[in-house]
Chain A
Amino acid sequence: MTGTATLPRSGSTGRATLLGLAALALAWEAGARLLSGSFVLAAPSEITAWIATHPGLLARALGTTLANATAGFLAGNLAAIALAAAALLWPGGRRLVTGFALLVFCLPLVATGPILRVLLGPGDGPEIVLAALAVYYTTLVPLLVGLNAAPAAWFDLVRSYGRGRLAELTAIRARASLPYLFAGLQIAAPAALLGAMVGEFTGAERGMGVLTIRYMRALDVPAIWALATAAAAVSILAYAAIGRLARALLHESPPVILAPPPDTRATRGTLPALLHALAVLTLALLLWWGAMAAFGLNPFFAKRPGDVLAALVWAPDAAETRATLATALGETARAVLPGYLAGLGLGAALAVLLTLAPVLSAVAMPLAVTLRSVPIVTTAPLIVLLLGRGAAGAIALVAVMVFFPTLVACLYGLRQAPGQILDVFESYAAGPLPRLLHVRLPAMLPAFFAAARMSVPAAILAVTVVEWLATGRGLGSLMALSASLSDYDMLWSAVALVALLSVLCHAAVAALERRVLSVYAAEQVPA
């Protein structure tokens, strides 16, 4: 299902996108004029004016952030390629590699940032590592799909000339994976910027994130909007540039969505799944402990697994720590669950509505892809401005974070409805509703669930960032507080808890996905 579908790139949709953007800008300007004086929305004219009066400042901040994001982009993607190579060389370990990669991807960046800052000392290290952490997983997943995305007959061809796995790799896998690699790189561009900016939110000295925090404190609305706009524009440009490079090199557009349906072969039965989870956990704990020991890091801030366990289970204040974590977890859940569900529901619903009006759908797809490439988390300050520091802001940010990938995936999935089957419906003169129910919706489900699965870490990232920045509630806020109080036991415990829960939620969505797809899209679940 991550097949070869690509976006149409005709002049007319390009023009339609421009028109759509222009209409958006006009509505925005009008809205801002209406709301002027309420300190929430800056008009495009004000944003332009701010950029025109602060070109040097903006350029320096953007330069710093882009340098870090680029370094993280390279490091993260190289790591993804190395992990994919490892999974290819050792097929039995593929699930261990992906499971571990997911666990690391679920580390809450807002807490990883301060921890890295004390571990790595002063410098841009934390921003770069965070950018790398934000990108490698979304490259690894499609790359693994791509490396295996060849019909069996192509491998038979290689074997029929007596050649082995090396020839398979050079003649087939390497080339077959390129579109998927580019799809990952495209998504990685905004993600790297996001990672770098989150790193800057959590205590850097320079960069876009630092400026954003400063202007948030000063409530300088045009400045906040200008910074977010610049970050969004850079992301969109990078996304488009990588897409263009892919088209020039490969003569095709990279696939729009990334995550494959979960591998049903290996997870059949609860016992293998449990063993797999145990293996991943063991590996993670070993690496965690090994890294701390190898670098001889100061146990005051570099906690080992045992320290976290002690803090949660048998330390004198363990009960208190657990209670604090549970309260924060409850607050976070009340923001992230409604936001996640709303984002999924609205994204899917809008996609379905748009399909009923094909003209709009042609415009919506490129627009949605464009907006998806905005690093939503960096707009957290705007959402806080718009909706306040309460729960509404957090819910909205999560919803927006989930909404765009879901919309894109569902629009894409709805288009995957097999033409021949639609022709059958056509031949009975069936109306749009039967077609939607019997053909399009089942075709949409795999893409929808892929988005739902990949949105789990994204939603948790969004909620922890907004809690860290603004709401003063939940795990994100707890992590901010612990970092500033140097309560490293609490900080590490919160990180472990968030990562573990994210992986569990991811697994729950994947289990639901398998169950639903085995009924509604049996042919799309690998046998």
Chain B
Amino acid sequence: MPADPPPRAPAITCTGLAKTFPGGREVLLPTDLALAGGRTTALVGPSGCGKSTLLRLIAGLERPSAGTVRIGGLTPAEMRRRAGLALAFQDPSLLPWRTVRGNIRLARRLARLPADPERIEDLIRLVGLEGFGDTRPAALSGGMRQRAAIARAMATDPQLLLLDEPFGAVDELTRRQLARDLPRLWEPRGTTTLLVTHSVVEAVLLADRVLVLSPRPARIVTDIAVPLPRPRDPAITATAAFHALTDRVSAALADGAARAHPPLAAQ
């Protein structure tokens, strides 16, 4: 059993957080970051800029070269020991010898939580894998594996949920469904969610705040608040307010890229 319960709706504070990999590859420039508890933040940025690295730093899976991370006042390691956070990895990383159900159950076991079969079945249904509980990952499609990984991440009711491109291989329709259903799960619990995505629409649809990163080495170039009402229906994507926001995010992305790689004429 975890010693103490994790803090509810933990805020995240990064102070001077930076990462340079051995060999001198700078991935994250010193960054100060404060994320309010219980909110959803989206990270967008070009491929290879350091989004996954930032997520792993916050989870404490990567050691920072400088700076600190605090989650609700705790270090990432303390948060992990209290089973307070969960990650859905970019590559689903399911154990091939366990079924979908077995993989989800393992997460609860690792977090020292009781098995709770009903909750597991609910999650399997929620991510649209009904009937595949007994299937091994090899017999699932890429998108189905990702959904199983999302269910696994949700299975421990984490206070901090870190999602690394969780819908990358999922089709448009299922994506919309998940974008509608998953927040219903984490909003009432006050989960703090950090989501990496390549889809500007998804970022605005899901998040309260969108952080746009520059190309590597990553730095936060723009910080856009998303004041849309909740709960949000995917139909909201058709509104003018929504479009205004996605345009701002897209422009910030293009701007960050242009500053890193100026067009030839400007050089």
Given known contacts A156-B61, A167-B110, A175-B97, A162 and B91 CB-to-CB distance under 8 angstroms: no
- Judge whether B51 is part of the interface by a CB distance below 8 angstroms: no
Q: Is A288 an interface residue (CB 8 A)?
A: no
A149 CB, min distance to chain B CBs, angstroms: 11
Structural contact, B97 and A157, CB atoms closer than 8 A: no
B91 touches A160 (CB 8 A): no
Question: CB within 8 A of A159: which of B80, B82, B93?
Answer: B80
Residue A26 is within 8 A (CB to CB) of chain B in the complex = no
Cα A251 to Cα B109 in complex, Å, equals 24
Q: Pick from A154, A160, A175 the residue with the most CB of B within 10 Å.
A: A160
Question: Smallest Cβ distance from B8 to chain A, in angstroms?
Answer: 18
Nearest opposing residue in chain A for B85, CB measure: A160
| A160 & B95 in contact (Cβ 8 Å cutoff) | no
Binary flags per residue of B95-125, CB closer than 8 Å to A gives 1, else 0: 1010000000011011100000000000000
Judging by beta carbons under 8 Å apart, are B106 and A162 in contact? Answer: no
Question: Is there contact, CB below 8 Å, between B97 and A160?
Answer: no
How far, in whole Å, are A158 and B152 apart by their CA atoms in the complex? 12
Binding site for A on B (CB under 8 A): 2, 56, 59-61, 77, 79-83, 85-87, 89, 91, 93, 95, 97, 106-107, 109-111, 156
- State whether A162 touches B93 (Cβ < 8 A): no
A154/B106 in contact, CB under 8 A: no
* A161 and B61 form a contact (CB under 8 A): no
Interface contact tally, CB-CB below 8 A? 53
A-B contact pairs, 24 of them (CB 8 A): A151-B91, A154-B93, A154-B95, A156-B87, A156-B93, A157-B87, A159-B60, A159-B61, A161-B80, A161-B83, A161-B86, A161-B111, A161-B156, A162-B77, A162-B79, A162-B81, A162-B82, A162-B83, A163-B110, A167-B110, A171-B95, A171-B109, A172-B95, A175-B95
B89 touches A153 (CB 8 A): yes
* B107 cross-chain contacts in A, Cβ below 8 A: 157, 161
A156-B93, A157-B110, A171-B109 are known; give 8 further A-B pairs, CB within 8 A. Answer: A153-B91, A153-B93, A156-B89, A157-B87, A161-B80, A162-B81, A175-B95, A175-B97
Contact with A158, one of B56, B60, B110, B156 (Cβ below 8 angstroms):
B110
B93 and A157 form a contact (CB under 8 A): yes
Q: Which residues of B contact A171 (CB under 8 A)?
A: 95, 106, 109-110
Q: Chain B contacts of A161 at CB under 8 A?
A: 80, 83, 86, 107, 110-111, 156
Which chain B residues border A154 with CB–CB below 8 Å? 93, 95
Residues A151 and B87 in contact, CB atoms below 8 Å apart: no
Contact between chains at A151 and B93 (CB < 8 Å): yes
Bound-state CA distance A172–B96 (Å) is: 10
Look across to chain A and name the residue whose beta carbon is closest to the beta carbon of B91.
A153
Closest 7 CB pairs of A and B: A162-B80, A162-B81, A153-B93, A161-B110, A161-B111, A160-B87, A156-B61
Which chain A residues lie closer than 8 Å to B77 at the CB level? 162
B61 contacts A160, CB within 8 Å?
Answer: yes
Closest chain B CB from A165 CB (angstroms): 13
Q: Would you list which residues of chain A between 4 and 58 have a CB under 8 Å from chain B?
A: none
Q: Mark A125-153, 1 if CB is under 8 A from B, else 0.
A: 00000000000000000000000000101
Q: In whole Å, how far is B47's beta carbon from the nearest beta carbon of chain A?
A: 18
Q: Is the CB of A160 within 8 A of B80?
A: yes
Q: Which of A181-198 contact B (CB under 8 A)?
A: none
Residues of chain B lying within 8 A (CB to CB) of residue A159 = 60-61, 80
CB-CB under 8 A from B111, the residues of chain A are: 161-162
Task: Please report the C-alpha to C-alpha distance between residue A158 and residue B103 in the assembled complex, in whole angstroms.
Answer: 12
Chain B residues near A156 (CB-CB < 8 A): 56, 61, 87, 89, 93
- Nearest chain B CB to A5 CB, angstrom units: 14
CA distance A251 to B91 in the complex (A): 24
Report A-chain residues with C-beta under 8 Å of the C-beta of B93: 151, 153-154, 156-157
CB closest chain-B residue, reference A179: B97
**CA separation between A161 and B111, bound complex, in Å?**
5
Main secondary structure of the interface of A (DSSP, over half): helix
Q: Which residues of A contact B59 (CB under 8 A)?
A: 160
Residue of B nearest to A175 (CB): B97
User: Residue on A with the closest CB to B61?
Assistant: A156
Closest to A159 in B: B61
A318 contacts B by Cβ under 8 Å = no
- Chain B proximity mask over A249-270: 1 for CB below 8 Å, otherwise 0: 0110000000000000000000
The CA of A251 and the CA of B136, in the complex, are separated in Å by 11
Assembled-state Cα–Cα distance A158/B59 (Å)? 12
Alpha-carbon distance between A208 and B8 when the two chains are bound, in angstroms:
72
Q: How far is the CA of A250 from the CA of B97 in the complex (A)?
A: 8
Residues of chain A contacted by B82 (CB below 8 angstroms): 162
Q: In the complex the two chains form, what is the Cα distance from A158 to B95 in whole Å?
A: 11
Chain B residues lying within 8 Å of A160, measured Cβ to Cβ, are 59, 61, 80, 85-87
Residues of A within 8 A of B97 (CB): 175, 250-251
The answer for the CA separation of A151 and B61 in the assembled complex, in Å, is: 14
Q: Name the residue on A nearest B108 (C-beta).
A: A161
Q: Which residue of A lies closest to B78 (CB)?
A: A162
Cβ-closest chain A residue relative to B97: A175
Please name the residue on chain A nearest to B136 by beta carbon: A251
Q: How far is the CB of A254 from chain B (nearest CB, A)?
A: 14
Q: How far is the CB of B143 from chain A (nearest CB, A)?
A: 18
Q: Which residues of the partner chain B approach A172 to less than 8 Å between Cβ atoms? A: 95
Q: Write out the residue numbers on chain A whose beta carbons fall within 8 Å of the beta carbon of B86.
A: 160-161
Cα distance A162–B143 in the bound complex, in angstroms: 27
Shortest CB-to-CB span from A205 to chain B, Å, is 47
Q: How far is the CA of A6 from the CA of B159 in the complex (A)?
A: 42
User: Complex Cα distance A151/B90, Å?
Assistant: 13
List the B residue with the shortest CB-CB distance to A178: B97
A464 to chain B, nearest CB (A): 42
In the bound complex, CA of A54 to CA of B97 (Å):
48
Query: Which residue of B has the minimal Cβ distance to A164?
Result: B81
Nearest Cβ distance between residue B5 and chain A, in whole angstroms? 13
Docked Cα-Cα span, A172 to B107, in Å, equals 12
- Give the chain B neighbours of A167 by CB distance below 8 A: 110
- Chain B residue nearest in CB terms to A167: B110
Report the Cα distance A172→B106, complex, angstroms. 11
Q: Which residue of chain A lies nearest to B84 when distances are taken between CB atoms in the complex?
A: A162
Least distance between B211 CB and chain A CB atoms (Å): 22
Q: Which of A151, A157, A163 has the most CB of B within 10 A?
A: A157
For A163, give the chain B residue with the smallest CB separation. B110
* Distance between Cα atoms of A159 and B76 in the complex (Å): 11
Docked CA distance A221–B93 (Å): 58
Q: How far is the CA of A402 from the CA of B57 in the complex (A)?
A: 49
Q: Which residue of A lies closest to B92 (CB)?
A: A153
Tell me the bound Cα distance from A175 to B80 in angstroms. 24
* Bound Cα distance from A151 to B92, whole angstroms: 11
Residue in B closest to A172 when the chains form the complex, CB atoms: B95
> CA A156 – CA B107 in complex, angstroms?
12
Of residues 231 through 286 on chain A, the ones whose CB sits less than 8 Å from some CB of chain B are 250-251
The distance in angstroms between the C-alpha atoms of A161 and B104, with both chains bound, is 13
For the complex, give the distance between the alpha carbons of A160 and B62 in Å: 11
Give Cα A218–Cα B109 distance, bound, in whole angstroms.
66
Residue of B nearest to A158 (CB): B110
State the CA gap A175–B97 with chains docked (Å). 8
Distance in Å: Cβ of B69 to nearest Cβ of chain A = 14
In the docked arrangement, what's the CA distance between A124 and B93, Å?
A: 49
Q: How far is the CB of A154 from chain B (nearest CB, A)?
A: 6
